[in-house]
Amino acid sequence: MLSRVAEAIYWMSRYLERAENIARFLDVNWHLTLDTPGGRGEQWMPLVSAMGDHSLFVDRELAGNRKSVIRFLAFDPEYPNSIVNCLARARDNARTIREIIPTEMWEQTNTFYHMVREAARDCETVLNNPYQFCDEVKRRDLTISGIAGDAMSHDEAWDFFRLGRLLERADKTSRILDVKYFILLPHPTDIGSNLDYVQWGALLKAISALEAYRRRHGRIQPERIVEFLLLDHDFPRSVLCCLIKAQECLHAITGTPAGYFANPAEKRIGLLTGDLAYSGLEEIFSAGLHEFTDNLQTRMNLVDTAIYDTFFSTFPAIDAASQQ
């Protein structure tokens, strides 16, 4: 397929997944807030930090309260990763590949964008209670995912669509873990308390993981949750699961057999997946959870760069052997 088209599908998918994850971030924090006794105050800044965009927020001299953070993450026209901007960019990409993606997928993306823009226009309701909006964002993106799975041919375009989504999701799952980490650590006395369980529960719920976790591990135990979100082989939002599937997509695109690599993207994702697959909780906690996830995110960014160089750059390295 055309390099330009592959890149557009990949980014369309990444932006949609990003929007969904921001909605999940907001949702988890909203529920944490509801369960936090008043005296403690609400903590919204960790959300901004977890997105890796703390400085963008601080430079704007915005207040770190609930309304301000929700407005920033969901609706800020100047913040490139706000939900409304993610949707605008997903739609811009979708528009350039309208002939590749199923009509239903384009229409869903289009109406999704209009829905978010409408919400942005009169956002006071959402700022006061983001639950319905976040839920709607999640549902609409899941719909697009479903359309992709059931209406797209499972060919190269589909693999690029999944690749973008999986890498974005792996990144965001590692970050959502950070949110909880930031919020809870300042209060070590709470660890093991009722409140702690409630908060971990809210976090799992926000990424649709609570039921799957319960079936796997039963009791809420923070280290098991960390293991579940980073290392589980079956849960579709765990980092390892995302990376393994992303690696499969890459190999499906190139036809390289498993266990081999033919380009930098395959090499980097192979190394990363291998390292993670053979890590245990000990490695994670001895490195420090925050440092571990930070390193994970850096290495995933390198995978993204390698994908760009291998498939999308305007002048891909073309040798005689690769021509068909």
What is the rounded distance in angstroms from the CA atom of residue 104 to the CA atom of residue 184? 42
Task: Catalog residues that contact other proteins under the rule CB under 8 A.
Answer: 1-6, 77, 88, 92, 95-100, 103, 106-107, 110-111, 114, 117, 156, 160, 253-254, 311, 314-316, 318-319, 322-324
Minimum distance from residue 153 beta carbon to other proteins (Å)? 11
Minimum distance from residue 125 beta carbon to other proteins (Å)? 20
Contacts 24+ apart (CB under 8 A), 297-300: 297/52, 297/171, 297/174, 297/175, 299/268, 299/272, 300/167, 300/170, 300/171, 300/243, 300/272
Minimum distance from residue 64 beta carbon to other proteins (Å)? 27
Minimum distance from residue 37 beta carbon to other proteins (Å)? 42
Cα dihedral 30→243→214→144 (10° resolution): 60
Closer Cβ to other proteins, 7 or 232, answer by number: 7
Minimum distance from residue 7 beta carbon to other proteins (Å)? 9
Closer Cβ to other proteins, 5 or 207, answer by number: 5
Minimum distance from residue 149 beta carbon to other proteins (Å)? 20
Distances (CA, A) of 317 to 2, 261, 320: 14, 17, 10
What are the tokens at 306? 């390698």
Closer Cβ to other proteins, 4 or 54, answer by number: 4
Closer Cβ to other proteins, 3 or 49, answer by number: 3
What are the tokens at 161? 């669509």
CB distance 137 to 171 below 8 Å:
no
Closer Cβ to other proteins, 218 or 255, answer by number: 255
Closer Cβ to other proteins, 25 or 311, answer by number: 311
75: which residues sit within 8 A by CB, 6+ positions away?
82, 83, 84, 119, 120, 123, 126
Whose tokens are 């557009």? That residue is: 8
In this structure, what DSSP letter does residue 285 have? H
Minimum distance from residue 303 beta carbon to other proteins (Å)? 16
Closer Cβ to other proteins, 235 or 311, answer by number: 311
What is the rounded distance in angstroms from the CA atom of residue 208 to the CA atom of residue 188? 26
